[in-house]
Structure 1
Amino acid sequence: MRLQLTHALQRLSYHIETIYLFTRSDYKTILLPVTVFSVSASSIFQARALVRTLIWTWLHLLQANVSNQTFSGHEDIVNKPWRPLPSGRVTVHQARGFRFFLMALCLGVSYFLGPKIAVASLALTAVEVLHDDVLMSHHPLLKNLCNVGGYLTFEIGATLSMTPTQELDGTAYTALTCSALLILTTITAQDFADVEGDKLSHRRTMPIIAPNGSRWVWGLDMYSGCGFLALGTLVGLRYFCFRDPRSDRSSYVLYNAKVKC
């Protein structure tokens, strides 16, 4: 009996670690920034709503990552060999089955929280299908548009979850508009660290098409604030001066901090 219990706990630990590895690279780039955005854009802060928002965001992050990684296993062998698929923890068939389970789970949880949140969940699923199944991720412009859609649906769903009335006010709409424009024009930042793997997938990202030109970042005017300007300058200089994958990954974390400021 004790042996069976030990074996069961080992299997549970193994599966928990596998789920963590699906989302490991995006806690600092999605979960934390989106949660901070939702708190900032919401008119009222409640601790219970924060917990609800964290759970909603994490579940949808898991869904998005499983969806993406079922199509990127071969490039992850180069870029992120510790992920569940390239490391052999799960098969493509198992990951795709898990993906469809998560789609249903996320939509069900969202509908329970509110119909508008369910619409955001459904929209995120549609973006994932366009990005992964329709292969929009292989085109530099369409990939950026999918990223805008993905970030916006995350931010809308999280903000609605944080707001007791589940209504977006003028502040939220302004924040979403600014976020969309920033992401559209700068999301190329996430592709620098993955150039070698993207080449294996025959993706045409901006760092592949224009390895030097894509590292230029447009400046900010003086009214944007010294702190924001300093962080933006730091990110731009890091991308231009430090070009190894490890530095690009660190720069992408700073980029997410800048976007959500």
Structure 2
Amino acid sequence: WTLWLFTLSDLKTIVVPSTVFGIVNAYTARGANEYHKSFHTLRLRILPVCFWVWLTLLPFTINNQQNPSSIAEDRVNKPWRPLPSKRISPTGAKQLMVLLYLLSLSLSAFTGLGLRQAIALFFLGAWYNNFGGGDHSPLVRNAINACGYVCFASGALEVALGQPIFFDSSMRAWLGMICGIILTTVHSQDMYDQQGDALRGRRTIPLVLGDLPARYTIAVWMFLWGIACPTFWHADLVVSAVSVSSALVVAIRTLRLRTVRSDKVTFMIWNVWIAGMFAMPLL
């Protein structure tokens, strides 16, 4: 249960969307044989995909939460987390993090699935949590998030397929689009925690640009990506309409509803939209 609590906040942002991406894109992948593309086979792979994403995410979240400033912030905002609730000591959390990094990398190396992504996520996590990547520059913060999403998504795809993926031009373009979506809109998660970020000295987009300009950057890019994704996949009119309208919901809420509670709901809708975009190849 303690391990679960470390990742609880990230289930909606990482675990669910990445699992959706892996399963859906495995089903539609070019070059995958019919066995790998069969619904029954992919259904059996949902749990392994979900487990790989969760296990790879877990040491990152522990690293993110074990700093003294993070523990102090969580005592106020998320007192149920393992460290502020004293389920585990900071020393124990650090030892657990090292063990889980070794376990995650060893599992990927043993299976030959998601190894490149797991290694990349190890270095991205160290940069983000230990070398100021998540605090000192809003662009670097968003870029690390974008690269992390791509690693989780493509690693989930490898586990779903049961074989390493080849990054052909179509796959590179699709992952590049995902990277662009996250890079330009992921600061939706920073809108509701500006006070906490300011106290910790983080330089997030709303704190650097200001609240209203940051909201406009999210709204404009949401509208553009809402059009671009179905266009990329040559989606029909219904799917395109759903994509654009749901993106507009996020955009309008971001501009019009500015309370902390409203921003949290908007970010939840953003996560649902992301999962929908990840499923776009199937639609």
TM-score (norm 1): 0.87
State the match for 1:93 in structure 2.
91
State the match for 1:248 in structure 2.
263
Q: CA separation in 2, counterparts of 1:156 and 1:25?
A: 21
1:65 to 34, 39, 61: 61
Runs of 4+ in 1 over 6 A off after TM superposition: none
Give 1:180's aligned amino acid.
C
1:169 positional shift: 5.7
Given that residues 227 and 243 in structure 2 are in contact (C-alpha distance below 8 angstroms), is that contact kept between their aligned partners in structure 1? Answer: no
Return 210-219 or 73-82, whichever deviates more: 73-82
Unaligned runs of 5+ in 2: 30-36, 231-239, 278-283
Paired residues for 1:155-174 under 5 Å? 155-168=153-166, 170=168, 171-174=170-173
State the match for 1:80 in structure 2.
78
1:48 positional shift: 3.0
Give 2:150's aligned amino acid.
L
State the match for 2:249 in structure 1.
234
Q: CA separation in 1, counterparts of 2:78 and 2:258?
A: 17
State the match for 1:214 in structure 2.
214
State the match for 1:189 in structure 2.
188
Q: CA separation in 1, counterparts of 2:120 and 2:52?
A: 14
Q: CA separation in 1, counterparts of 2:213 and 2:186?
A: 14
Q: CA separation in 2, counterparts of 1:183 and 1:25?
A: 18
Q: CA separation in 1, counterparts of 2:263 and 2:86?
A: 26
Paired residues for 1:138-157 under 5 Å? 138=135, 139-157=137-155
**Secondary structure of the corresponding residue to residue 258 of structure 2:** coil
Q: CA separation in 1, counterparts of 2:97 and 2:122?
A: 10
State the match for 1:129 in structure 2.
126
State the match for 1:27 in structure 2.
11
1:213 positional shift: 0.8
Q: CA separation in 1, counterparts of 2:6 and 2:163?
A: 33
Change (3 A) 1:87 1:193: farther
**Secondary structure of the corresponding residue to residue 134 of structure 2:** helix
**Secondary structure of the corresponding residue to residue 148 of structure 2:** helix
State the match for 2:202 in structure 1.
203
Aligned residues with identical type, % of pairs: 31
Given that residues 75 and 197 in structure 1 are in contact (C-alpha distance below 8 angstroms), is that contact kept between their aligned partners in structure 2? Answer: yes
Give 2:146's aligned amino acid.
V
**Secondary structure of the corresponding residue to residue 86 of structure 2:** coil
TM-score (norm 2): 0.80
Change (3 A) 1:137 1:69: same
RMSD of aligned Cα (Å): 1.8
Change (3 A) 1:112 1:165: same
State the match for 2:50 in structure 1.
54
Q: CA separation in 2, counterparts of 1:79 and 1:245?
A: 12
Return 222-231 or 66-75, whichever deviates more: 222-231
Q: CA separation in 1, counterparts of 2:259 and 2:81?
A: 20
1:248 positional shift: 1.8
Q: CA separation in 1, counterparts of 2:24 and 2:18?
A: 10
1:208 positional shift: 1.7
Give 2:7's aligned amino acid.
T
Q: CA separation in 1, counterparts of 2:144 and 2:245?
A: 29
Q: CA separation in 2, counterparts of 1:197 and 1:73?
A: 12
Deviations 1:24-62 (A, max 9, x none): 111122111111111122122523322211110111121
1:222 positional shift: 5.8
Change (3 A) 1:106 1:231: same
Return 47-56 or 154-163, whichever deviates more: 47-56
**Secondary structure of the corresponding residue to residue 143 of structure 1:** helix
Deviations 1:61-120 (A, max 9, x none): 212211111132222233322211222222222211111111001001111220x52121
Q: CA separation in 1, counterparts of 2:166 and 2:249?
A: 33
Give 1:178's aligned amino acid.
M
Unaligned runs of 5+ in 1: 1-15
